[in-house]
Amino acid sequence: MSDIFTMGIDVGSTASKCVIMKNGKEIIAKSLVDVGAGTSGPERAIQAVLAEAKLEMKDLAHIMSTGYGRHSMEDADSQMSELSCHARGAYFQFPNVKTIIDIGGQDAKVLRLDDDGMLVNFVMNDKCAAGTGRFLDVMARVLEVKIDDLESLAEQSTKDVTISSTCTVFAESEVISQLSRNTDKRDIIRGIHRAIASRVGALARRIGLVDDVVMTGGVARNGGVLKALEEELGHTIYTSELAQYNGALGAALFAYQKSK
């Protein structure tokens, strides 16, 4: 019997991610382009993942799109919301997962799953960028540091600095006023991580935290936010190298289900 290849593409607000799976079990290729919906990102991500997998579009049994730009993907055979895809992706990686904290470019969400990894309930941030990847982008720009350096800088923090505003614009002003008082950037960064943890923690408490808790999405790459969330919630939070690909992974798994 020949192998079945399926693709999941997660067209987010700030990045495009693709995963190709073999027989719904093995990830054979993945790609990430740092621009999302409405850009060349999705197409570039598709070309990159096909090249890595040494496959062509015609070899794919089913393509499912998810994420903010899921409905604009003409190549996709079907679409599904990122909610169910994150649930499926996280369950594949962590079979004991019950709670998922996903922080992406412009939304933050907390999902509750049942024993079989089915989505039971979810809450999302309201029409506001507080506690999302965008929040971190804005702060990194003000602090003149690279987004990838935030974690290591926060680790060097020695003093507590509180960023009390959850509004991105107000928090930016707070950071600027801290900088004008010569507060150490490293302390400010840890304060920013705690501000995100506080905001997202409130969402998580609203839905009710049940172990195992897993963090997905691009912000999971920042261990500083993950650590702040663990401190805020008092739960161990698991993540993986595939955190940012989790939605695409879930879509590839659903695509396999659809292909049969």
Partner 1 sequence: MAETEKDVSMPTEKVPAKNLLRDVVDKVYAEAWEAKKRGEPIGWSSSKFPAEIAETLGLKVCYPENQAAAISAKHGGQRMCEYAESMGYDNDICGYARISLAYAAGAGGDERPMPQPDFMLCCNNICNCMTKWYENIARMHNIPLIMIDIPYNNTPEVNEENVAYIRAQFEEAIKQLEKISGRKFDEKKFEEVCANANRTARAWLKACSYCQHEPSPLSGFDLFNHMADVVTARCRKESAEAFEALAEEYEQSVKDGTSTWRYPENHRIMFEGIPCWPELQNLFRPLKEKGINTTAVVYAPAFGFVYNNMDEMMRAYCKAPNSVCLETGVQWREDICRENKVDGVLVHYNRSCKPWSGYMPEMERRFRKDLGVGVVGFDGDQADPRNFSNAQYITRVEGLYEIMESKKMGGPKSE
Q: Which residues make up the interface to partner 1 (CB under 8 A)?
A: 68, 80-84, 107, 112-116, 118-124, 126-127, 206, 208
Q: How far is the CB of 206 from partner 1 (least distance, A)?
A: 6
Residue whose structure tokens are 């920013």:
192
Query: What CA–CA distance (Å, rounded) separates 214 from 109?
Result: 12
The minimum distance between CB 123 and partner 1, in angstroms, equals: 8
Q: How far apart are CA 122 and CA 219, in angstroms?
A: 19
**Cβ proximity to partner 1, 69 vs 191, nearer residue:** 69
Nearer of residues 70 and 186 to partner 1, judged by Cβ? 70
Nearer to partner 1, 80 or 175 (CB): 80
* 110 or 143: CB nearest partner 1: 110
Structural contact between residues 23 and 256, judged by C-beta atoms closer than 8 angstroms: yes
Cα separation values, 146 from 24, 151, 152, 231, Å: 36, 10, 11, 24
Helices (H), the chain: 41-53, 82-93, 133-143, 150-155, 168-180, 185-207, 223-233, 246-259
Round to whole Å and give the CA distance between 237 and 212.
7
In the complex, least distance from residue 120 CB atom to partner 1, rounded to whole angstroms = 5
Q: Closest separation between CB of residue 40 and partner 1, Å? A: 20
Q: How far is the CB of 180 from partner 1 (least distance, A)?
A: 30
* Cβ atoms of residues 188 and 143 within 8 Å: yes
Which of 38, 156 has the CB closer to partner 1?
A: 38
